[in-house]
Amino acid sequence: MKPLQIGPITVGTPVVLAPMAGVTNAPFRALCRRAGLAGLPDGSPALQTPAPAGLYVAEMVTSRALVERTPESMRIISHDQHEAVRSVQLYGVDPATVGAATRMLVEEDRADHIDLNFGCPVPKVTRKGGGAVLPWKSELFGAIISAAVRATEGSQVPVTVKMRMGIDADHLTYLDAGLRAQDAGVAAVALHGRTAADHYSGTANWDAIAALKQAVTDIPVLGNGDIWSADDALAMVEHTGCDGIVVGRGCQGRPWLFTDLVAAFSGSPVRRRPGLRDVAEVVREHAVLMVEHFADEGKALRELRKHMAWYLKGYVVGGSVRQAFGMVSSLAELDERLAALDLDQPYPGQPAEGPRGRAGGPREPHLPHGWLESRDLDEELRGLLQHAELSISGG
């Protein structure tokens, strides 16, 4: 498959790590990036591009927090020296604030690529009119992306958009939003084939991705949703015609999925099937990177806990052992627990693959009062949006 062109940035392999709150910090991105490079065959033309094995996007950060330079927002946008393309995802509901945050990233040389979040379905975001429900207010959506694009003028920093299909099946926005984004000058759009109401339930609608690809013809269209394996990624491209894929939950506890993805897009049959000893080595490496990143061993290990069930999925370790790993508090304790495992276990196959985390069922989106009455904003909703970012995590 041909490289992915995001504005001036050539991505040798059309694979993107989706930003995930509390997951895609610098240590996890490093693991995924290294795994991706391992999937490239020697002499691959992709090795000559700035991003040979894909783009790896940082956790979402709120534009307001970034403008205010909160310590957490500055940590979120930190990148290590090996990240050739520094990708940052911004969340915002106010065009002026999003523009200011974008300008800061550009003028202070803190990002090479900026993605705008219009895909988050969680209630604390949607009840304020943000994330996946914001494109319903089409004028506001256009104003936000236009402000971001204007803030990058004269630079080599492209702006992209990640979104969902809409609020629910009766309030779809993705075709209109994709065309507006294209007209505003964004470099690419990514679509998660679910609505806000779907949350992470059911099956992603790849037909919607295909429809967006047919409608948006001047910029790349990326597909997201239900990519649990390299075969899934190839199937999505075949089904939709999309220009690249975005991977989220499928790589949780499996950074080596990027080895498979990059190999598959390079036409290689290489697939990584780690035994438990290999998994333990990755867990230890992850822990060390986390300690370096946070400069606080206790905090680093607490942050690592959420990953443990994902890493151990499918391996025979027992419920009490899984629980103990979910309470680990130091590198010494982690080493002790890893050493006690039956590390000679081979790769368990399907039990270690597939969906991870809690998908749950469909959920009625939490919306501001009167949100669906019109696609325009009234003064009451404008006032609400001025305060919408204050209680949102991600900076």
Which residues are catalytic, by number? 120
The answer to whether 215 touches 198, Cβ cutoff 8 Å, is no
Q: How far is CA 15 from CA 21, 79, 264, 363, in A?
A: 19, 19, 11, 29
Distance CA 273, CA 257 (A): 9
Q: What are phi and psi of 22, to 5 degrees?
A: 75, 5
- Give the phi and the psi of residue 103 in degrees, each rounded to 5: -60, -40
Strand partners, 315: none
Count Cβ atoms within 10 A of the Cβ of residue 179 and give its class: 0-12 exposed, 13-18 middle, 19 or more buried. middle
Helix (H, G, I), strand (E, B) or coil at 246: strand
Q: 3-class SS at 322?
A: helix
DSSP letter string, 89-140: EEE-S-HHHHHHHHHHHHHTT--SEEEEEE----HHHHTTT-GGGGGGSHHH
The SS3 assignment for 144 reads helix
Helix (H) or strand (E) holding 163: strand 159-164
CB-based contacts of 240-243 (< 8 A; 24+ apart in sequence): 240/206, 240/207, 240/209, 240/210, 240/213, 241/210, 241/213, 241/214, 242/209, 242/210, 242/213, 243/4, 243/14, 243/188, 243/213
CA distance 126 to 44: 43
Judge contact between 235 and 265, C-beta under 8 A.
no
